Amino acid sequence: MTDAPAATAGPPSTTRFNWRSLLWQAILTVTIAWLGYEAFTNARTNMQARNIPSDFSFWFNTSGFDINQTLISYSAVSTYGRAFMVGLINTLAVAAAGVFFATIIGFSVGIARLSSNWIVAKLAAAYVELLRNTPLLLQLLFWYNAVLKQLPHPRQSLPFPALTAQMPGLTTLLIGGGAVLAAAMLLWFGKRANSAGPVPLLTRTLGSLSLGAGVLILLFGGMLIGAGSSSNDVFAGILGFAKGQYGYLNNRGLYLPFPQFAAAMQPVWIAFGCGLVAAIVFFVWAGKRQLRTGQQLPRASIALAILFIPAALVFWSAGNPVSFDLPKPRGFNLSGGWRIYPEFFALLLGLSLYTAAFIAEIVRAGILAVEKGQTEAAGALGLRRQTILKLVVIPQAMRVIIPPLTNQYLNLTKNSSLAVFIGYPDLVQVFAGTVLNQTGAAVQVIAITMAVYLVISLVTSLIMNIYNRRVALVER
């Protein structure tokens, strides 16, 4: 290949201009243009011959089919466009829930795999290997057909969560033990907070959690017995739900109590909103104060307290204005309550567990990527283990973890299209399945479906690139 003629001043240009590259590009362009033209004309001929619509007018036609799980209102007289919306929202719902659970499970399993406890590490490794080496579709079909569909009929529903059915006294033990543990943590946290030096992350987390749990149980516990009365037998309500008096599990789904908010809840939401703003402001201010003066406050616990306590007080003083729509047996089925369909549950379970296995490996790689010298140097500086994790290891590990993590989130979103095999009405099943079959407008429907997934992928990649550039190591 010949170089461009050398300039008389400055370094030689690195872009090559020569006739051969021009020829190759011309050939490529002509080939692609010709193929595109051929495909276009063939498609037009074939579609006219088979009476397939070639525009988007089907969008406004009546759909004529029903969808059993919709998060927005939809009926058989809605348009195909509305059906598209239903499918899209279902896909986003299962993807969001899947991402949430997959992250939690994935991080736990990844950290467990690095544990010094041999049996925990091997269990985590077995989980990862088992789930990564079997196809996702097989797992979905297993959960749907071999587990959820084998549950009993609605007339013989299993109570949910029914902890006492498994082991008598376990529920009382758990709730009592949990209360004792929360009290102990509160006391210990108070004692630790008074001691000199920064409070470790674990203590603070447990402190916040126990504080929040205590507040929630005390102030909202009355919800669980249904009526908006102020005589709240809190533990009876919790025990009742734990014993399975209000939840039903059968092969038509999981039925749970659904909260109904009275009009008197408005002030509570306002108080919650103000609490949220105040909590964020406090959180940011406390961080800045720490950078300025070096004084630390237990930011998270106080922020949580600011978030929940005013709302809880308003709620309490308004007389607990919430009631529960409890599912009740009626005929061959159940009515009322919040029904979680087995298709959604199977898809969520399969996707979360499968993606969690991949996330576990990513987390493990990220934590191992931080050099041991960092931990040792932090220890030599006198930092305790929790602080080392929080300030030294995890920020560096996050830089390695986040790019493949967002890739896994994208994979989860794309894998949710497997809902078409188990009948969950997601975008592919509703739009590229039913709507395509009814209208025959294959090109338009598939193009729209692909465009949706492409937009999700590209937006996520864009955000990820921005993040990468911000945290990238500046190299010489």
Partner 1 sequence: MSNIFIRQTPLPQLAPPPDSQGVVGWLRENMFSTPLSSMLTLLALLIIGWIVPDLIRFMFVDAVWSGDGAACKAPGAGACWAYVRDKIGFFTYGLYPETEIWRVNLVLAVGAVLALWLLWPDAKGRAMAAVLFFAAYPVISFGLLTGHVPFPMGWFPGGAPGKLAVWAFPLILLVAATGLYFARQRGWAFLLIGVCIWFAVGLIWRDFNLVKVGTHNWGGIFVSLLVATIGIVFSLPLGVLLALGRRSEMPIVRFCSIVFIEFIRGVPLITILFMANFMLPLFVPQEWSPDRLLRPLIGVALFASAYMAEVVRGGLQAIPKGQYEGAMAMGLNWSQMMRLIVLPQALVLVIPGIVNSFIALFKDTTLVAIAGVFDFLKAIETQREDPSWAGPTISTTGYLFAALFYFLFCFGMSRYSIMMEKRLSAGRKH
Binding stretches for partner 1 (CB under 8 A):
1, 15-16, 21, 24-25, 28-29, 32, 38-39, 42-43, 46-47, 49, 52, 115-120, 123, 129-130, 132-138, 141-142, 145-146, 150, 414-415, 417-418, 420-421, 428, 432, 436, 442-443, 446, 449-450, 453-454, 457-458
Q: CB of 142: closest distance to partner 1 in angstroms?
A: 5
CA distance 386 to 204: 10
Q: CB of 298: closest distance to partner 1 in angstroms?
A: 23
Q: Which residues pair with 334 in a beta bridge?
A: 329
User: In which element (H, E) is residue 254 found?
Assistant: strand 253-256
| Choice between 271 and 432, CB closer to partner 1 | 432
| Choice between 130 and 227, CB closer to partner 1 | 130
| Choice between 136 and 179, CB closer to partner 1 | 136
Q: Which residues pair with 324 in a beta bridge?
A: 259
Residue type, 164: T
Cβ atoms within 10 A of the Cβ of 159, count?
Answer: 15
User: In which element (H, E) is residue 239 found?
Assistant: helix 234-243
Q: What is the rounded end-to-end Cα distance, in angstroms, of the chain? A: 32
Q: CB of 127: closest distance to partner 1 in angstroms?
A: 10
Measure CA 237 to chain center: 29
CA distance 442 to 288: 57
| Choice between 34 and 261, CB closer to partner 1 | 34
Q: CB of 418: closest distance to partner 1 in angstroms?
A: 7
| Choice between 277 and 459, CB closer to partner 1 | 459
3-state secondary structure of 7: coil
| Choice between 183 and 202, CB closer to partner 1 | 202
Distances (CA, A) of 211 to 187, 195, 254, 305: 11, 19, 30, 8
Cβ atoms within 10 A of the Cβ of 385, count?
Answer: 14
CA nearest neighbour of 425 among 26, 23, 72: 72
Torsion of CA 273, 275, 277, 281, to 10 degrees: 180
Q: CB of 328: closest distance to partner 1 in angstroms?
A: 30
| Choice between 333 and 457, CB closer to partner 1 | 457
Torsion of CA 415, 420, 426, 430, to 10 degrees: 140
Q: CB of 449: closest distance to partner 1 in angstroms?
A: 5
Measure CA 156 to chain center: 32
User: In which element (H, E) is residue 408 found?
Assistant: helix 394-415
| Choice between 123 and 179, CB closer to partner 1 | 123
CA distance 270 to 357: 40
Q: CB of 473: closest distance to partner 1 in angstroms?
A: 17
Q: CB of 275: closest distance to partner 1 in angstroms?
A: 34
Q: CB of 187: closest distance to partner 1 in angstroms?
A: 19
Q: CB of 50: closest distance to partner 1 in angstroms?
A: 8
Token code pair at residue 273:
């909103």
| Choice between 131 and 223, CB closer to partner 1 | 131
Token code pair at residue 187:
């006391």
| Choice between 227 and 451, CB closer to partner 1 | 451
Beta strand spans in 273-403 (E): 322-325, 328-330, 333-335, 338-340
Torsion of CA 71, 72, 78, 80, to 10 degrees: -60
